[in-house]
Amino acid sequence: MPVQVYFGEALGRYGFGHGHPFGADRIHAFWQETVKQGLDRRVRVAAPALAAENAIAYFHTPDYIERVKFLSATGEGYLDYGDTPAFAGVFEAAAYVVGSTLDGLKQVMAGDCPRVFVPIAGLHHARRDAAAGFCVFNDAGVVIEALRRQFHIKRVAYVDIDAHHGDGVFYAFEDDPDLIFADIHEDGRYLYPGTGFRNETGKGAAVGTKLNIPMAPGADDEAFHKVWPELEEFVRAAKPEIILLQAGADSIAGDPITHMQFSPAAHGYAAKQLCRIADEFCQGRIIAMGGGGYNRTNLALAWNAVVKAMLD
Ligand SMILES: [Zn+2]
């Protein structure tokens, strides 16, 4: 089964300087490990792609896109209330993340490469009208909208194992019954963004289409395997047409900004199991996004565990 992986300098440009945990070096930490494991010779390597502005507008409001452009030109100030600094060229850098995930979607839908991995992508905190938590444009949100508009696919499963709740995706589709949302994250009482509780199951016609599984700080692989079957059953029962996986590596022991204790094997296992479900219901279609992860060794091991699982 061919797997397409995105790598290139343009993707690495999405990163914040001055010792920010989301540094521009993350892409290289990932790729060094990919080469070390010889996976670069087993995957199809694809160059980052730039998103057209009208594609970004599938998810984001025109006012917000204009604001990002303005701050991108000045390179000063913050895009939110203090987590996400602007830098010169941030608009293009963020548009490359969206464009790469969208290009991955195009490949997947063309049918010749149903499994795709996009590091750096999975910027799940960005809202339709605002940046949040290191996330400028929500590439996952854009892809969900693109699936509906360009490919007429409604039934989408979004699975998120990043330490943080995928609030930007969750609240944007909270009342959408065809967006199946399943998220394992550190309990919002202890970690940003403070949301994603068990009773948040969707709104209106969408009640029951969202599964939030908050985990206690310090939750390890044993805790992961206790809750994973529930998530898997939930996704399988929904019979999605495509699966999106946000494989944030900040849920692994040793991350500097969270308190989770998973190992990279959890990420590999999640990817393997979701590939099976994708084969069963989705003609194999799955797009994995790197998401968070601020310990460079962890992100390198976890993301490559995902790639390896997709290859196997
Ligand atoms: Zn995170």
The answer to whether 135 and 172 have CB atoms below 8 angstroms apart is no
Is pLDDT at 310 greater than 90 in this prediction? yes
Of 134, 73, 118, 46, nearest in space to 310 by CA: 118
pLDDT (average), residues 241-269: 98
In angstroms, rounded to a whole number, what is the distance separating the alpha carbons of residues 123 and 233? Answer: 26
Residue with tokens 């996952």: 140
Spacing, Cα 197 to ligand 1 middle (Å): 16
Spacing, Cα 292 to ligand 1 middle (Å): 4
CA-CA-CA-CA torsion for 269, 187, 157, 50, nearest 10 degrees?
A: -90
What confidence tens digit (pLDDT) does each residue in 265-291 have?
Answer: 999 999 999 999 999 999 999 999 999
In angstroms, rounded to a whole number, what is the distance separating the alpha carbons of residues 20 and 198? Answer: 31
Q: What is the pLDDT of residue 20?
A: 85
Say whether the peptide bond before residue 193 is cis (omega within 30 degrees of 0): yes
Is pLDDT at 177 greater than 80 in this prediction? yes
Is pLDDT at 78 greater than 80 in this prediction? yes
Measured in whole angstroms, the distance separating CA 303 from the mean position of its chain's CA atoms is 11
Spacing, Cα 186 to ligand 1 middle (Å): 10
Residue with tokens 């464009």: 99
What residues act catalytically?
A: 125
The answer to whether 158 and 179 have CB atoms below 8 angstroms apart is yes
In angstroms, rounded to a whole number, what is the distance separating the alpha carbons of residues 170 and 186? Answer: 15
Q: What is the pLDDT of residue 112?
A: 82
Is pLDDT at 18 greater than 80 in this prediction? no
Spacing, Cα 198 to ligand 1 middle (Å): 19
Name beta bridge partners: 135.
132
In angstroms, rounded to a whole number, what is the distance separating the alpha carbons of residues 121 and 4? Answer: 14
What confidence tens digit (pLDDT) does each residue in 113-150 have?
Answer: 999 999 999 999 999 999 999 999 999 999 999 999 99
pLDDT exceeding 90 applies to what percent of the chain?
Answer: 92
